[in-house]
Amino acid sequence: MRTELFTREPDISKVRVTDNFWKQRMELVRTKVLPYEWDALNDRIEGAASSHAVANFELAAKLTVEHKVGTIKAGSVRTEQGQAVSSGEENGFEGFVFQDSDIAKWLETVAYTLMWKKDAELEKTADEVIDLVCAAQQEDGYLDTFYIINGLDKRFTNLQDNHELYCLGHLLEAAVAYTDATGKDKLLKALIRYVDYVDGIFGPEPGKKKGYPGHEEIELALVKLFRITGNKKYLKLAKFFIDQRGAEPNYFVEECRARNDGKPYTDDLSYYQAHKPVRKQEVAIGHAVRAAYLYTGMADVARLTKDDSLLETCERLWEDVTKKQMYITGSIGSSPVGEAFTFDYDLPGDSIYGETCAAIGLAFFAKRMLMIQPKGEYGDVLEKLLYNGIISGISLDGTRFFYVNPLEVYPKKNHMDARFRHVKTERQKWFGCACCPPNIARITASLGSFLSSYNDDSFYTHIPAGAETEAVISGNRVGIAVEGNYPWDGDITVRFEPEKNTEFTYGIRIPSWCDSFTAELNGVKIEPAVSDGYLKIKRVFKAGDELKLSLPMDVKIMEADCRVRSCFGRVSIMRGPVVYCLEEADNGPDLHRVRISENAEFSAKEEKDLNGITALYCMGFKELPGEGELYKPASARRFETIKLRFIPYYAWANRGEGEMTVWVNRY
């Protein structure tokens, strides 16, 4: 393993995002999304799906404090996968088994925002939430409201479906971020107690359970805990969960047998990526969010333990996901059945699942692969996700959300045909299963950690969004500022401010959509080498050095590989990293009748609507309906010409309900 290529993520508290495009979104998260989310978690939003997440902690804390655990009877608890559960008791546990994770993601997001904007009131609320969470903790460290309320005797008896380790993972991520942001470690200490308790139950040692989570997440979180504590025990536990997954005898089958509750064994272990050991898995399979979180943890563990076979597995699965099972927007998960991958080149745009969380999970995976090796293809996918398939999950005003991210909607079909009903045509206020909104908030708030990475002798800019980053390279503090108007403009300036002259390699990704570029260093045109998708300059950098890069942003008419049946004969439009779509609001109904020539000439125009976009215009053709016959000779086709307006895909569904399509028929 070529460990000299390894990089680490920047200290997020040392990154100041200055970018127009992202700064506005990060502020939206801080000022709108977080308060909105807090109201949702407290069930204060009229007409929104209920959460009960705070109430569950209040009840669990009350039970813990009053030592009444076990005295409240569990009622009709339904724990089937995908089902909301209720204790049946008034004021019992409500919501999904993983409801605790929504509180965790809110706290984690708060932590990131406090890094760039101090807010005493918000911090006080977060401290109170942490007090509440800690008040629910058991003597032995255990902390999961579902079982605290419904009966601790059942804990860790259904790892397959009941998400205890998943919730612990999210709480851990929150605790690490909150300590990073504030220096306060109350939650971190509580979570360490819980993890130590878990470590005493699960592990390779004789007498310990050989289980692993049904929903991966704790693996990547334990790596964060290892980072902040330096305690290798946590990295070892992450590796155990990864190594154990899919081993024979299958743990989920065994635990189901041990529960002996009359319910059948799961017939699809691949849903959990538990059908065979991870190193033997050839293709991405099963629930897409779970898969992406698993691969993220695998990449972390591969890097930190220098595990070649695990790295090869990550590379193989990366290849399968991004070359055969990923939408042009970066979305993954082709089927609503199991919210899952299906098979290679199966990428329907209208019946897609494309969960926002899955796109976010793939961005996590891309970030880890970039830390193993800065390679253009990883950065290209990360960029595709950030500017398309992730931010499509939130409305421009920050109060409406998509769980499913279609590439094509026809509202009549989505309302009337049950096969398409999972695809919403308007963003929703909240969800009973509310994993996506808090996830989009935390990735936006932590954007600074996705833009670059570095090691002792190199610094890499993966995404050229405006940001000032401070890193320590060769023992010297080095400031690197990226400026520009990405993704609308390809002119990028990079300024270097080392505290003293420092020799290192600076690399900046040349996106795969860019056919040619020009570069200047301190006003002199240069032609530096591009390797692995990065322009690289090795020199002694001094304060005031300036690199200017120009990436021409031509409009590209794209098509999918001909093996993708669902968009065969259709094209989509990209400019720079942004994928475009047609909406009914601009182009009228019946978008399926629209055709464009692959020689169409586009004009790009900066416009103020939709919070400021670059819109694209071209002339197209719209086929005219016949006179009443259902079928006619193809030669009788007639068209009218039509001026088409394309908007960025992420901005769709902000002007009321209507048709939308990313793929357009070729003329």
Residues that bind Zn ion (CB under 5 A): 355, 357, 435-436
Between 10 and 361, whose beta carbon lies closer to Zn ion?
A: 361
In whole angstroms, how close is the CB of 482 to Zn ion at the nearest point?
30
Tokens, residue 195: 């993890």
**Would you say 278 or 357 has its CB closer to Zn ion?**
357
Question: Would residue 640 show up in a list of annotated catalytic residues for this protein?
Answer: no
Nearby residues of 400 by Cβ (< 8 Å), 6 or more positions away? 394, 426, 427, 428, 429
Strand partners, 557: 573
| Minimum distance, C-beta of residue 453 to Zn ion, in the bound complex (Å) | 26
Coil/strand/helix, residue 530? strand
Q: Is 339 a catalytic residue?
A: yes
Give the integer Cα–Cα distance in Å for 179 and 193: 16
Residue closer to Zn ion by CB (options 159, 435) is 435
CB of 99 to Zn ion, least distance (A): 13
Least Å from the CB of residue 337 to Zn ion = 16
Angstrom distance (rounded) from CA 293 to CA 532: 25
Would you say 215 or 375 has its CB closer to Zn ion? 215
Which of 607, 604, 598, 606 lies closest to 617 in space, CA to CA? 604
Q: How far is the CB of 443 from Zn ion (least distance, A)?
A: 12
Instruction: Pick the catalytic residue from 435, 567, 581, 618.
Output: 435
CA distance 185 to 127: 11
Three-state secondary structure call for residue 49: coil
Active-site residue, from 37, 173, 339, 583: 339
Distance between CA 151 and CA 262 in Å, rounded?
19
Cβ proximity to Zn ion, 9 vs 355, nearer residue: 355
Contact 509, 519 (CB under 8 A): no
Q: Is the preceding omega at residue 249 within 30 degrees of 0, hence cis?
A: yes
- Least distance to Zn ion, CB of residue 161, Å: 17
Backbone angles phi, psi at 135, to 5 degrees: -65, -20
E strand or H helix that includes residue 482: strand 476-484
Question: Taking the complex as a whole, how short is the minimal distance between the CB of residue 403 and Zn ion, in angstroms?
Answer: 6
How far apart, in whole angstroms, are the C-alpha atoms of residue 298 and residue 302?
6
CA 374 to chain centre: 19
User: What SS3 state is found at 23?
Assistant: helix
Find the residue with minimal CB distance to Zn ion: 357
Nearest 10 degrees: Cα torsion 225, 228, 230, 231: -30
Q: Residue 11 and residue 479: Cα distance in Å, rounded?
A: 13
Closer CB to Zn ion, residue 357 or residue 363? Answer: 357
Q: Tell me the chain's radius of gyration from C-alpha atoms.
A: 25
Return the closest-CA partner of residue 348 out of 179, 129, 530, 565.
565
The whole-angstrom separation of Cα 118 and Cα 104 is 20
Distance between CA 335 and CA 415 in Å, rounded?
Answer: 18
Q: Which residues contact 188 (CB under 8 A, 6 or more apart)?
A: 175, 176, 178, 179, 228
Phi (first) and psi of residue 404, to 5 degrees: -100, 135
Structure tokens at 209: 């359970």
DSSP letters, 103-136, are HHHHHHHHHHHHHHS--HHHHHHHHHHHHHHHHT
Compare residues 355 and 659 and give the one whose CB is closer to Zn ion.
355
- Nearer to Zn ion (CB atom), residue 177 or residue 357: 357
Closest distance to Zn ion from the beta carbon of 435 (Å): 3
| Nearest CB to Zn ion, comparing residues 81 and 182 | 81
Q: Is the peptide bond prior to 633 cis by the omega test (within 30 degrees of 0)?
A: no
Q: Pick the closer one to Zn ion by CB: 369 or 435.
A: 435
Residue with tokens 């322009």: 535
Q: Which is nearer to Zn ion, 311 or 357 (CB)?
A: 357
* Location of structure tokens 């999950």: 393
Closest-CA residue to 646 (of 558, 565, 569): 558
Other beta carbons within 10 angstroms of residue 296's beta carbon come to 25
| Catalytic residue positions, numbered | 339, 435
